[in-house]
């Protein structure tokens, strides 16, 4: 039994606008009935608040005050809560607070840029409201300044090393917010106005290769694989997905939007069948019917509008798809204007009313756009300047002269680059290393009753495809002619690939590295976003006992936990709105290949439906309908 009173919940400090209604809470435990009394600090003494004898103290913040709660029982035991300060910002009205605010930090004052002509003192300051009152941490050029933890930061004499970009992070138990970055410069200190930082980097890249009712493509799966690797080098958390249905594309976009926040760099890339109509671009999911209707396609502009609403610092949309529209008589679709935020970059693989081509060279295939994008994407320069280099390289390619010219549109007012560094104290949900670790599967050792040991390892290049590798690591001396077969327990048709069988080029990408060389067999697990439960795979072992000549067969089952992407796509977590979408074209963009005059081994394919020079024809006039708000904000 408790003899003393124990405070189990102390009130918390707060920083709020004037006239904001606030509740201070105190909770305690004791051996008998407890009595509460609240006090406030008035000048040099504590003043009892009349009638404030409940665990909760409801106040309307008028001025900055200190509060404390006393708890006592009938046995004269007494305990006091912590002192808490309710700071009231008199110049800020309570109407400044958004409806439904739960106490997460909101900056009401950002630091101002400073330019000095000599070694002078300077003070940078900011202020944020929050419940609990936010704590502050300053950063210079993306690096944490450990001893700068107040809302004001003073430098007694600014030296050249102090010049640079500064920003502050305000945090409490409800969340974190970043101030606007500002520049501190001196007369002889080089300007750092072209140095920017990201609060995080998130990319959604989709490649649709295998269509149910339309010609398959070759390049998208390869291009998505290569772009995924490059973006990870730039610090992006990458969600890379191939062969998505209409509902899966909507879910993927919704989840992508939820990762975006103020100061984050967002990048969206799509490769597959598509078209453009009246300045609006559409993507064709793999389950689109033939001919497809308006509701079967997805508007890229809708995605960009939702990206802007997340207050991102940079939005990049890269479309490696055709922009051809084959029915000039069809009515125009409504285009909603984007907000003038000055942070948007469009990179089109081809110009308006033209096809986008892919190059086939032997067994490999790659889009023209990606062929040159991967040469420049790691360059440390403004993203629009980097894309201009890609445009110039495409223009010099003799294979597509007069057929494909890249186009760039942007409203980017700042010199932001994909190579910009990430602030070191970013939100945990945007920590790429943490998120990547969630998607890793550790190696497993399986021991058969006959004494054979097999190592299972896993490799994922796409978020929704995993390769499983089986490798013999120990075999009894009396066993010979050992073979292993991997397959999915619930789907015997998805058999493993013997090591001497040739993989397709996209499978080779997935299996690249030392694992493929050392593996005795492999199993490809595609479409992981569809999984509802854990995955069970089986490993069959066939071997011969040299002593008896008997052929043995043994089987073991292994459980793979429900993949991260499946949890992301689960209906329980999905935030899909109505399915109304943009009008779609009836022409899917059939892939055709043309023999190049310059290289007999390289061939061009495009998503135009006809060979170059042939007149275009329309097979159906799509219906027109208004666009709905299909993505979660």
Domains and CATH numbers, the chain: 6-96 (2.60.40.10), 106-195 (2.60.40.10), 200-357+365-434+583-588 (3.40.50.1460), 440-562 (2.60.40.3360)
Report the alpha-carbon distance of residue 231 to residue 153 in Å, rounded: 35
461 Cβ neighbours under 8 A, 6+ residues apart: 225, 228, 229, 240, 509, 510, 512
Of the residues 13, 15, 168, 273, only one is catalytic, namely: 273
Instruction: Reply yes or no on whether the pLDDT at 512 is more than 60.
Output: no
- DSSP state for residue 230 in the 8-state scheme: H
- DSSP state for residue 352 in the 8-state scheme: T
Instruction: Reply yes or no on whether the pLDDT at 586 is more than 70.
Output: no
Q: What is the pLDDT of residue 83?
A: 94
Of the pLDDT bands very low, low, confident and very high (cuts 50, 70, 90), residue 520 is: confident
325 or 392, greater pLDDT:
392
Q: Which of 338-342, 483-487, 517-521 has the lowest mean pLDDT?
A: 338-342
State the average pLDDT over residues 418-447. Answer: 70
Instruction: Reply yes or no on whether the pLDDT at 506 is more than 60.
Output: no
Q: Which of 45-49, 306-310, 372-376, 401-405 has the lowest mean pLDDT?
A: 401-405
Of the pLDDT bands very low, low, confident and very high (cuts 50, 70, 90), residue 71 is: very high
What's the CA dihedral at 11, 12, 15, 20 to 10 degrees? -30
pLDDT single digits (tens) 175-228: 888 888 888 887 744 443 457 888 889 999 999 989 998 888 888 888 898 899
DSSP assignment of 128-180, as one string? EEBSSPPEEEEEETTEE-TT--SSEEEESS--GGG-EEEEEEEEETTEEEEPP
Instruction: Reply yes or no on whether the pLDDT at 158 is more than 80.
Output: yes
Nearest to 214 by CA among 297, 328, 323: 297
In total, the chain counts a number of residues equal to 633
Nearest to 297 by CA among 34, 628, 594, 581: 581
479 or 570, greater pLDDT:
479
Sole residue written with tokens 């990206």: 307
Q: What is the pLDDT of residue 12?
A: 95
Q: What does pLDDT average to over the chain?
A: 78
Q: What is the pLDDT of residue 337?
A: 59
Sole residue written with tokens 């329309």: 618
CA distances in angstroms from 403 to 190, 533, 591, listed in the order given? 44, 47, 15
A 10 A CB-CB count for 350 gives 27
Q: What is the pLDDT of residue 129?
A: 94
Instruction: Reply yes or no on whether the pLDDT at 88 is more than 80.
Output: yes
What's the CA dihedral at 55, 60, 66, 69 to 10 degrees? -10
State the average pLDDT over residues 253-262. Answer: 89
Of the pLDDT bands very low, low, confident and very high (cuts 50, 70, 90), residue 626 is: very low
Active site residue 297: no
319 Cβ neighbours under 8 A, 6+ residues apart: 269, 270, 274, 281, 300, 346, 347, 348, 349
Instruction: Reply yes or no on whether the pLDDT at 458 is more than 50.
Output: yes
DSSP assignment of 399-434, as one string? GGTTT---EEEE---S---TTPEEPSS--GGG-HHH
Instruction: Reply yes or no on whether the pLDDT at 405 is more than 80.
Output: no
A 10 A CB-CB count for 545 gives 15
pLDDT single digits (tens) 262-277: 889 999 999 988 887 7
State the average pLDDT over residues 241-251. Answer: 91
Of the pLDDT bands very low, low, confident and very high (cuts 50, 70, 90), residue 327 is: very low
Q: What is the pLDDT of residue 525?
A: 87
438 or 71, greater pLDDT:
71
pTM (two decimals): 0.61
Order of all β-strands in the sheet with 314-320: 237-242, 200-207, 264-271, 314-320, 344-348, 407-410
The two three-digit tokens of residue 73, written as one number: 């029982």
b (16+ CB within 10 A) / e for 89-110? beebeeebbeeeeebbbbbbeb
Of the residues 13, 127, 163, 322, only one is catalytic, namely: 322
**Percent of the chain whose predicted confidence (pLDDT) is above 90:** 27
Q: What is the pLDDT of residue 8?
A: 94
Active site residue 558: no
Strand partners, 46: 41
pLDDT single digits (tens) 21-57: 999 999 999 888 999 999 998 767 788 999 999 999 9
């Amino acid at each position: 039994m408790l003899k003393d009173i124990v405070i189990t919940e102390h009130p918390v400090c707060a920083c709020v606008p004037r006239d904001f209604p606030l509740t201070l809470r105190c909770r305690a435990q004791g051996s008998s009935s407890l009595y509460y009394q609240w006090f406030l600090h008035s000048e040099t003494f504590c003043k009892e608040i009349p009638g404030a004898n409940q665990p909760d103290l409801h106040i309307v913040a008028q001025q900055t005050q200190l509060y404390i709660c006393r708890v006592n029982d009938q046995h004269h035991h007494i305990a006091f809560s912590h002192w808490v300060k309710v700071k009231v910002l008199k110049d800020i009205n309570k109407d400044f607070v958004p409806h439904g605010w739960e106490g997460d930090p909101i900056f009401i004052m950002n630091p101002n840029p400073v330019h000095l002509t000599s070694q002078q003192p300077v003070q940078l300051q900011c202020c944020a409201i929050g419940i609990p009152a936010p704590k502050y941490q300053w950063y210079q050029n993306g690096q944490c300044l450990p001893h700068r933890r107040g809302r004001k930061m003073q430098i007694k004499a600014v030296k050249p090393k102090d010049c640079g970009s500064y920003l502050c992070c305000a945090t409490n138990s409800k969340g974190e917010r970043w101030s606007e970055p500002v520049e501190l410069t001196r007369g002889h200190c080089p300007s750092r106005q072209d140095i920017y930082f990201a609060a995080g980097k998130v990319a959604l890249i989709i490649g649709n290769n295998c269509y149910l009712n339309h010609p398959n493509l070759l390049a998208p799966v390869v291009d998505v694989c290569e772009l995924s690797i490059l973006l990870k080098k730039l610090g992006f958390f990458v969600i890379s997905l191939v062969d998505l249905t209409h509902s899966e594309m909507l879910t993927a976009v919704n989840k992508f939007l939820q990762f975006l926040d103020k100061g984050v760099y967002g990048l969206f890339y799509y490769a597959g069948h598509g078209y453009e109509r009246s300045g609006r671009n559409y993507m064709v999911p793999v389950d689109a019917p033939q001919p497809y209707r308006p509701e079967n396609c997805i508007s890229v502009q809708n995605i960009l509008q939702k990206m802007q609403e997340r207050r991102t610092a940079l939005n990049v949309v890269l479309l490696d798809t055709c922009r051809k529209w084959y029915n000039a008589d069809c009515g125009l679709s409504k285009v909603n204007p984007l907000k003038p935020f000055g942070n948007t970059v469009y990179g089109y693989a081809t110009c308006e009313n033209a096809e986008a081509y892919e190059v086939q060279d032997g067994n490999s295939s790659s889009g023209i756009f990606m062929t040159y994008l991967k040469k420049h994407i790691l360059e440390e320069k403004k993203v629009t300047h980097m894309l201009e280099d890609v445009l110039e390289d495409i223009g010099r390619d003799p294979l597509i002269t007069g057929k494909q010219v890249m186009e760039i549109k942007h409203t980017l007012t700042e010199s932001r680059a994909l190579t910009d560094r990430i602030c070191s104290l970013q939100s945990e949900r945007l920590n790429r290393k943490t998120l990547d670790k969630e998607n890793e599967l550790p190696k497993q050792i399986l021991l058969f009753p006959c004494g054979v040991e097999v190592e299972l390892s896993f490799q994922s290049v796409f978020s929704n495809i995993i390769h499983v590798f089986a490798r013999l690591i120990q075999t009894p001396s009396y066993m010979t002619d050992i073979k292993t077969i991997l397959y999915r327990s619930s789907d015997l048709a998805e058999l493993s690939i013997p090591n001497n069988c040739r993989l397709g080029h996209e499978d080779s990408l997935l299996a690249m590295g030392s694992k493929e060389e050392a593996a005795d067999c492999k199993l490809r697990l595609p479409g992981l976003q569809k999984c509802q439960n854990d995955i069970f795979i089986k490993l069959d072992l066939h071997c011969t006992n040299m002593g008896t000549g008997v052929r043995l067969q043994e089987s073991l089952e292994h459980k793979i936990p429900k993949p991260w992407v499946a949890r992301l796509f689960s209906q329980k977590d999905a935030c899909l709105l109505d399915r109304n979408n943009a009008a779609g074209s009836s022409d899917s963009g059939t892939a055709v290949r043309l023999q190049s005059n310059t290289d007999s081994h390289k061939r061009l394919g495009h998503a135009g439906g006809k060979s170059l020079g042939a007149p275009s024809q329309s097979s159906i006039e799509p219906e027109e309908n208004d666009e709905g708000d299909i993505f979660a904000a």
